């Protein structure tokens, strides 16, 4: 499903999170951690498709179109993952995990994140991103609290690199991914995720006012 390559995704993620301001090519390349030459090529392609304009900086002129193109071209389900089983209900697990991982790189996504920013449907699992390379440490932290590995658990940890955490933030003492990333994840999750994505889109529209 990932028709957009990773570097293009990293560029798009930054652009969508900075959609209300202009950004230079060099700054965009730095934030996305993509080479300047590759950034130029990606930006030119996005400009040709009508999503951007370059006038004294790069400005997203069709952010909804860009957001939807990205969301329908990637899938949260393609990320490698670890699953665990905790005794508590997902709503409580979200708070518990936030406390356990406060010193680690993590961010909730899917219905665990909408539960915090725009409740739509009660999560039946806790879904979160963890940084690649932290799997062993997080497994050890969980084990000390009786949260055990499972083939199909109620805690799903998607293993991702640093770029996916761009503009992740804290709300109600819980870290969640950025709203554009959350929208894309919900769309790719399907089912009621697509309905919940509309709630996130409404939040993004309000930000744009």
Mean pLDDT of the region 185-202: 93
Report residue 80 as tokens.
């490698």
3-class SS of residue 23? strand
3-class SS of residue 59? strand
- What residues does each domain of the chain span? 6-71, 76-208
Per-residue pLDDT tens over the stretch 15-41: 999 988 899 999 999 999 999 999 999
Res 1: pLDDT: 39
Per-residue pLDDT tens over the stretch 110-121: 999 999 998 878
Per-residue pLDDT tens over the stretch 48-68: 999 999 988 999 999 999 999
Mean pLDDT of the region 155-162: 97
Same fold flag, 6-71 and 76-208: no
Report residue 146 as tokens.
């009786």
Res 209: pLDDT: 41
Res 17: pLDDT: 95
- The values of phi and psi at residue 109, to 5°, are -135, -175
- Of 3.30.460.40, 3.40.30.10, 1.10.10.10, 3.20.20.80, the CATH number of 76-208 is 3.30.460.40
Share the mean pLDDT of the chain: 93
Res 208: pLDDT: 58
| CATH number of this structure's domain 6-71 | 1.10.10.10
Question: How would you classify the pairing of strands 155-160 and 126-131?
Answer: parallel
């Amino acid at each position: 499903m990932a028709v957009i390559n990773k570097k293009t995704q990293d560029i798009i993620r930054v652009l969508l999170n900075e959609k209300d301001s202009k950004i230079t090519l060099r700054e965009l390349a730095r934030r996305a951690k993509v080479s300047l030459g590759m950034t130029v090529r990606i930006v030119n392609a996005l400009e040709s498709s009508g999503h951007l304009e370059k006038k004294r900086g790069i400005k997203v002129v069709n952010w909804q179109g860009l957001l939807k193109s990205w969301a329908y071209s990637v899938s949260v389900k393609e990320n490698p993952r670890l699953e665990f089983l905790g005794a508590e209900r997902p709503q409580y697990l979200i708070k518990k995990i936030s406390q356990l991982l406060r010193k680690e790189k993590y961010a909730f996504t899917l219905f665990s994140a909408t539960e915090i920013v725009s409740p739509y449907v009660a999560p039946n699992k806790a879904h979160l991103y963890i940084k690649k390379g932290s799997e062993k440490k997080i497994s050890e932290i969980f084990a000390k609290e009786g949260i055990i590995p499972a083939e199909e658990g109620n805690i799903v940890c998607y293993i991702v690199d640093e770029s996916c955490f761009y503009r992740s933030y804290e709300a109600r003492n819980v870290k969640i991914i950025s709203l554009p990333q959350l929208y894309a994840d919900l769309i790719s999750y399907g089912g009621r995720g697509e309905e919940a994505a509309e709630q996130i889109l409404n939040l993004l529209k309000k930000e744009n006012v």
